[in-house]
Structure 1
Amino acid sequence: MMKAAQSRPWSDLPPELLGLVLKRLPSLADRVRLRAVCHPWHSNSRLRTLPLPFPWLTLPDGTLLGIPSGEIHHISLPEGACCQGSIDNWLFLMHNHGVCYLMNPFSKTRLQLPKLAKVWKREIYDPEPRINPIFYNLVVPFPLDSSPCSLLAALIMDDGNWGTLCISQSPIVTDSFRDDKHPAKLLCSVAFFDGKLYGLGGFDQLFIFELDKDLGISSMECIIDSMGELGGIPQSLSEEKAYMIRRYLVECGDRLLMVKRWIHPIARSTSDDFFEHNRTVALGVFEADLGTDPAGWRTVNDLDGHALFLGQHSSKSLRAGECSGYQEDCIYFMCDYSWPKHSANPLRDAGVYNIRNQTFMPLMSGTAAVPPHHAGQWRPTWFFPPEAV
């Protein structure tokens, strides 16, 4: 009789084979499970550069959704903290009494921030405003893990459609202004590119902010004033319908991009959530051509092998080949434009857009969906977990 096959221990798994397994696990949770059963994980994961796992989505109730697995993750945070955004693997947390900070939920490291709501209130005219902040767009010129004392810019948008820009170096405010007092009207997104701070206007203008040695805003210049001949709606859309447009400014490799997102407001329901049935119907990508005089926008038909994650609170581009499960030249988006009083399912208007063939795909399969009722006031944002924990 043939001898029964004997299983070999995980410790005998060849390192090169283990490395291939790790590179094909887009889920951080799956990597943790592999670590639990395979002790050589530590040595192998340190020797090899692992691709980034797929990002998570924060949900209104304070949990995080793993993609594409659909797993719900619970993380331990300080009592009373509410997530209002993120930068990479740092959550932007705010308390009812206005205290703000960035926190890495894995290392528990905190970076204290100014009281941004207080900065916003100081900049508005009305001492008892009827308007309120609705989202915070936070950007830094360098990764926080390598530069924790980095300059930080926060664009605070309110429900009066005005933006307040706050410049800080943790935890001190170095300058701030409100765009209804300056030529930069209706700022909707900010980004650092090549060490400089840029702002996107609500009518497709691009502004550059010069900072002095004390990190105050010394000048602000409009370098692109319109879309020119590129204005209008995509040919695939009907001119007889109305659309809501969202604009995002994001650094992508060696390019500064504006992404325009056309959203069709499908028949309003009886609820007071105006955005309940909205759907994204088109996306357009434009590069800021800063080498011409005057500078202008030009259409982009690829992302140079990158994947782009859109978010009102923070957008991020990553080279797809360095990440697990990402598709190159694709834009990942979700529903993050509902007002804070509505607990929105971020998947109700989510998807993946291939910029090359102009097709939409679902962000997740129908079998992996967010539970329908999520109460809470966390804002939906992308969260990028580390390669391993």
Structure 2
Amino acid sequence: MANWSELPEEIIDLVAKRLPPYPNEFAQFSCVCKSWNSVLKKQNSNIIRKNDKQFKKGAIRSFYCHSTKRLFNYYLPQAKRTRGWGTPYGWLLTFGLDLNIHLLHPLSRVQISLPSQPTFEHQHQFDAYCPEHLCQSYFIKFALSSDPSIPETGQCPLVMAIYGEICYLAVASPGDEVWTSVDCSRSNYQDIIFFNDHFYAISCDGMLRIIEVNTRQPKATDFASPPDNIYVCSTFYLVELTGDLCMVERAFDPVDDVPTLAFHNETTYFVVYKFDFNSKTWAEVEDLGDHALFLGNNTSFAISTSDYPEFKENCIYFTDDHSNSYQRGFCDMGIYDIKNNRIEPFYFDDHQLSKFSRPIFFMPTL
């Protein structure tokens, strides 16, 4: 067998430069041997030196890879001066200080334009807001009807947004000139999902609504009442789990940070419910089996821990999506073990946390 550590440094460098921009690839490359790891470190330091000005201006984004427990800095100028939301398709949705909205594939750097923020209704509520404040507070969630990399029948995916001061719904597709509002008599939504060819939304009181988008004026219709024992001050998420539509209740307590005179919310527990379409009722799910859920500033999604054994089964991974938590130095994120009703926090260094764009989950795809 060849001794890979004895390859000339020039050849190792050429191989490293052809790696796809995917954290796992870099991690596996660096683990081959010391000489390969040394070449990769030298290459990364050269990239950072060349892009030092861009780094200082926000063109570098940090990605934490849960499978390797490592943090990667990645040059992504398309995401500069933007806030991002994650998806399970490998795409991000970005909203910039220029008020433009894009679908962005961070590994290929492909961008797809969507109508800009000024094309939403109810602009008068935000007339006095600066762009940075708009980026922090105007949008709550986004959901896609399909993977933008695989357009069905030549059509671009439909994108639904929760937006505005009292959380309205709106829809648009790439190529549209404006966002179309959904039934402005309904508001206060917390999450949305595309499930079995329909959009569903959950309101702040746990009411499930089905969204009809194939009409001139999209509308929302009450579909199911919330479970009897939910806590109305919780946050609600919609997620598909093994072919079922589920709702997750996230409860939290307000915490006063006395030394800094700051206030934040801290998650205390989660409850998962499965929806029965025949009876239109919810039933509590006490065990996720070999699955894990990912909630936060992203489209909620589930993965099989049999396919991804580096993740913990029967757990909920969550990031901070509290609307009042834009402070540096604290981020309510961790792993909730359903069986033991226990939270294992995970934090990054203070300089890795941005009060402008909160941490998000997304599933990388090449």
TM-score range, shorter chain: 0.7 to 0.9
- 1:254-304 Cα offsets, whole Å, 9 max, x none, are 1111111111112343646421xx321111111122111xx1221111224
Q: How does 1:301-380 map to 2 (within 5 A)?
A: 301-339=286-324, 341-343=326-328, 345-346=330-331, 349-355=332-338, 357-362=339-344, 364=346, 369-373=347-351, 374-375=353-354, 377-380=356-359
Could you tell me how far apart the structure 2 residues matched to 1:248 and 1:261 are?
8
Decide whether the 8 Å contact of 2:60 with 2:73 is kept in 1.
no
Matching residue of 1:33: 30
Runs of 4 or more off by more than 4 Å in structure 1?
A: 34-38, 124-127, 129-132, 270-273
Matching residue of 1:100: 101
Could you tell me how far apart the structure 1 residues matched to 2:180 and 2:260 are?
37
Query: Which one has a larger percent helix, Structure 1 or Structure 2?
Result: 2
1:66 aligns with 2:74: no
Structure 1 residues 334, 375: closer, same or farther in 2, change over 3 A? closer
Deviation at 1:351, TM superposition (A): 1.9
Could you tell me how far apart the structure 2 residues matched to 1:226 and 1:253 are?
21
1:91 aligns with 2:92: yes
Could you tell me how far apart the structure 1 residues matched to 2:81 and 2:140 are?
15
Q: How does 1:125-136 map to 2 (within 5 A)?
A: 126=125, 128=127, 132=134, 133-136=137-140
Deviation at 1:164, TM superposition (A): 2.4
5+ residue gaps, structure 1? 1-6, 12-25, 39-58, 234-243
Matching residue of 1:146: 150
Deviation at 1:177, TM superposition (A): 2.6
Matching residue of 1:385: 364
Farther-moved stretch of structure 1 (205-214 vs 184-193): 205-214
Structure 1 residues 134, 274: closer, same or farther in 2, change over 3 A? farther
Q: Which amino acid is the alignment partner of residue 288 of structure 1?
A: F
Structure 1 residues 273, 93: closer, same or farther in 2, change over 3 A? farther
Could you tell me how far apart the structure 2 residues matched to 1:340 and 1:60 are?
24
Specify the SS of the correspondent of 1:101: strand
Matching residue of 2:50: none
Could you tell me how far apart the structure 1 residues matched to 2:258 and 2:180 are?
39
Decide whether the 8 Å contact of 2:170 with 2:179 is kept in 1.
yes
Specify the SS of the correspondent of 1:31: helix
Decide whether the 8 Å contact of 1:134 with 1:339 is kept in 2.
no
Decide whether the 8 Å contact of 1:260 with 1:283 is kept in 2.
yes
1:285 aligns with 2:272: yes
Decide whether the 8 Å contact of 1:338 with 1:344 is kept in 2.
no
Structure 1 residues 375, 281: closer, same or farther in 2, change over 3 A? closer
Matching residue of 1:9: 3
Structure 1 residues 111, 175: closer, same or farther in 2, change over 3 A? closer
Could you tell me how far apart the structure 1 residues matched to 2:312 and 2:182 are?
38
Q: Which amino acid is the alignment partner of residue 253 of structure 2?
A: H
Decide whether the 8 Å contact of 1:123 with 1:177 is kept in 2.
no
Select the residue among 262, 274, 285 that pairs with 2:263: 274
Structure 1 residues 308, 360: closer, same or farther in 2, change over 3 A? same
Specify the SS of the correspondent of 2:78: coil
Q: TM-score, normalised by structure 2?
A: 0.75
Q: Which amino acid is the alignment partner of residue 318 of structure 1?
A: I
Structure 1 residues 71, 313: closer, same or farther in 2, change over 3 A? closer
Could you tell me how far apart the structure 1 residues matched to 2:354 and 2:190 are?
27
Could you tell me how far apart the structure 1 residues matched to 2:317 and 2:126 are?
39
1:206 aligns with 2:208: yes
Q: Which amino acid is the alignment partner of residue 333 of structure 1?
A: F
Decide whether the 8 Å contact of 2:141 with 2:297 is kept in 1.
yes
Farther-moved stretch of structure 1 (333-342 vs 97-106): 333-342
Could you tell me how far apart the structure 2 residues matched to 1:304 and 1:174 are?
43
Could you tell me how far apart the structure 1 residues matched to 2:212 and 2:29 are?
44
What RMSD, in angstroms, separates the aligned Cα atoms of the two structures? 3.4
Deviation at 1:169, TM superposition (A): 1.2
Could you tell me how far apart the structure 2 residues matched to 1:245 and 1:189 are?
12
Structure 1 residues 340, 283: closer, same or farther in 2, change over 3 A? closer
Structure 1 residues 354, 166: closer, same or farther in 2, change over 3 A? same
1:226 aligns with 2:215: no
Matching residue of 2:162: 155
Q: TM-score, normalised by structure 1?
A: 0.71
Matching residue of 1:75: 75
Q: Which amino acid is the alignment partner of residue 297 of structure 2?
A: Q
Decide whether the 8 Å contact of 2:297 with 2:359 is kept in 1.
no
Specify the SS of the correspondent of 2:321: coil
Could you tell me how far apart the structure 2 residues matched to 1:71 and 1:251 are?
28
Could you tell me how far apart the structure 2 residues matched to 1:33 and 1:72 are?
13
Q: Which amino acid is the alignment partner of residue 353 of structure 1?
A: Y
Decide whether the 8 Å contact of 1:250 with 1:316 is kept in 2.
yes
